[in-house]
Chain A
Amino acid sequence: MERILFGDNQFFAVNHISDEKSREQSIKFKDDEAIIKTLDHAIDAGINTFMCTTHDRIANICDYIRKYPEHYSAFKIYPCMPYAHKYANAVTELGIVGTLREYVPGNFFGSIFKGGIAYLSKDYLSIMELMIDAEMKMFTNIDTPIIFLQNVITDLLLGLGMKDIFKAFNNYIEKKYNAEAGYITMNMPKLQYVLEQAGIKNPIICTSINKAGFRMSGGKELYESVLKTKQIRTIAMQVLAGGAISPKEAIEYVCNLPNIESILFGASSMNHIKETVSLIQKYDIQNQHKLGYNNFIINTV
């Protein structure tokens, strides 16, 4: 994983602290060109990985990327599925079974209803696989080395204790897409434990990590201790805690934590992108110097 990953919340009006800002973003990124322009700013700032939900509009972005292969030759996407609101709104309207009927592709569901529940019961994981395939369709011929399960689903399954589904997701992503599975969560310590129980070694976990302790369920200290003692590949997200802390303080905190492989952030303007990237680089370099200095002492002693 690259050190810095670019997120997509700003493109889809996801703002955790202000509905007004969320509408502004919605207006700003109405056209796909605005999204592409911002992605290009991120690429210019040295970020080559875009982590995004399987929102319908991402399909257009993927078309564009395929159209200009030279420009995006080093570009990777980490898809995060499913785009939860699509399903949440559908469940409100159609119910759980109705939603499955609407979104599971092909005649699969029709044949199940004909075949009855007994036939279906063996095949829940096949339904999951079909739904993954449907979400992955838009990324054909695009490099997607890691594929994530969105936090609403991860955390729902976590609370329900459905660890076999985590394992099934992991296996299918490896087998079908030759990629690694990742998990987004707001409950990192609990998830780490459950993934370990499920036999998923050194999992990729993307989770809220910030100095304010915002959306770090179970507490910041618990997160810090898991980072120190467990084997996980962590992506820190919501590092700015929705704007609750200054960028400098926020980035310094995250860069000084052990075991954070990548930092995910989203921004709407070129200046914000540059500012965040240079802050991460600044603290990383400082830490390398510190590390180098320590090594030097150890070596000479």
Chain B
Amino acid sequence: MIKVCLIGAGKMGISHLSILGAHPDVQVVGVCDTSKIVLDVLKKYSAFPCYTDYQEMLEDAEPDAVFVSVPTKYHAGIVKQILEKGKHVFAEKPLCLTADEGEKIVELASRRGVINQVGYHNKFIGTFREAKRILDSGELGEIFHFSGESYGPVVVKRKQDNWRADPAEGGGCLMDYASHVIDLINYILGPITKVKGSILKSFYSNKVEDSVFSLLELSSKVTGVLSVNWSDETYRKMSTSLTITGSKGKIICDANELKVHLKTSSNAGYTKGWNVKYVTDLTPPVDFYLRGEEYSAQVDYFIKAIQHKVPNNINTFKSAWYTDKVISFIKESVN
């Protein structure tokens, strides 16, 4: 059994906690949150040991691994303390408020030799994984252009009162929403090395941007567009998609559906013209389902990495740190 603690039982934390609670190889040895109500409900109705002080929890519960799902501004400090104790860490995204903060914990995690993973769950969605496989195989030929998009209904009115509305705490569409798309582009297409210009616009929020539009360049010199808006109420939930155009074909991919258009039939089972595959064909089943296979799959992958069953090579601190770095490029590219 892997002994796991969780710090921060908010929206993502409570979901991780449920998935961990159902995992056959995991024993949840401690949960810590600052909200009295959340903690009180957990105390009363779950069997998880509850703490108000995470340092006390880390001493007392002696976990093998810790999930950190607190507001981003606390990531660097808390993760550092956990790493210094030699524990494996799963942190929510984005990794840190700045690339400088992140660099230190990437280095520390590597020095301590612990398993480290960040919650960019799109990489555990079958359609995106297949898009990467096709791209890596070179079947699209020379890449001409790409666009990475994400839309959703997070802030659809002029009223907000939490950490997501505060830039100092890691709020805003860029860190909270666009980070997912940036991370996915880095993973599927290759690292973004230059941002040629950006528009960060607020529609409803006072202190943070509600949308991000950027022109990106990859290390391969391929260029593309980032378009993200979390104030779009025509979407029921967050919807992320990638469109990639090449000399031999084109991919349109979201979390549900992968559409591939090829000029000639390929060896990998795709024929000339349009091919459509669904997440149902591409996503392996999970043992416990909550909100999407990818949430369970990423937790399971982290646990398996601790058990030495899989390599620690998806969503490492290092890859998430690079996403933080691109976020800083975008901030710098405004105006």
Contact = CB atoms under 8 A, between A and B. Distances in A.
Interface of A: 12-20, 22-23, 26, 85, 88-89, 91-98, 100, 117, 120-121, 124, 152, 155-162, 164-165, 186-187, 190, 212-219, 241-244
B308 interface: no
A164 B286 contact: no
B236 A12 contact: yes
Given A17-B256, A98-B162, A164-B45, 16 more contacts: A17-B257, A17-B278, A17-B279, A22-B236, A100-B37, A120-B40, A124-B41, A159-B19, A160-B14, A162-B46, A165-B45, A187-B289, A214-B280, A216-B285, A217-B288, A243-B280
A15 B255 CA distance: 12
B280 A212 contact: yes
A124 B40 CA distance: 10
Nearest to A92: B154
A124 B44 contact: yes
A159 B18 contact: yes
Top 9 A-B pairs, shortest CB-CB distance = A159-B18, A186-B289, A159-B22, A162-B45, A244-B280, A17-B278, A159-B21, A217-B289, A155-B290
Interface string B289-324: 111000000000000000000000000000000000
Contact of B236 (A13, A17, A156, A219): A13
A16 B35 contact: no
B287 A19 contact: no
Contacts of A97: 35, 37-38
A189 to B, nearest CB: 10
Interface in B10-49: 10-11, 14-15, 17-22, 35-38, 40-42, 44-48
Interface in B236-275: 236-237, 239, 241, 254, 256-257
A120 B21 contact: no
Given A152-B290, A160-B21, A190-B22, A117 B45 contact: no
Contacts of A15: 256
A199 to B, nearest CB: 16
Contacts of B87: none
Contact of A96 (B10, B164, B237, B239): B10
A92 B11 contact: yes
22 contacts: A14-B236, A16-B256, A17-B257, A19-B239, A23-B234, A88-B11, A88-B237, A89-B154, A89-B237, A91-B11, A92-B164, A93-B155, A96-B35, A117-B37, A152-B291, A156-B15, A156-B18, A161-B47, A165-B45, A213-B285, A218-B288, A219-B285
Interface residues of B, number: 48
B110 interface: no
Contact of A217 (B18, B161, B287): B287
Nearest to B160: A93
Contacts, number: 137
B153 interface: yes
A244 B11 contact: no
A189 B21 CA distance: 16
Contacts of B44: 121, 124
A96 B15 CA distance: 13
Interface of B: 10-11, 14-15, 17-22, 35-38, 40-42, 44-48, 153-155, 160-162, 164, 234, 236-237, 239, 241, 254, 256-257, 278-281, 285-291
A121 B40 contact: yes
B18 A96 contact: no
B290 A159 contact: yes
A92 B238 CA distance: 12
Contact of B257 (A19, A186, A215, A217): A19
A57 B86 CA distance: 52
B313 to A, nearest CB: 26
B288 A156 contact: no
B162 A156 contact: no
Contacts of A17: 256-257, 278-280
A15 B15 CA distance: 22
A207 to B, nearest CB: 10
B190 to A, nearest CB: 25
Contacts of B22: 158-159, 187, 190
Interface centre among A92, A100, A159 (most CB of B within 10 A): A159
Nearest to B156: A89
A55 B254 CA distance: 25
A161 B285 CA distance: 22
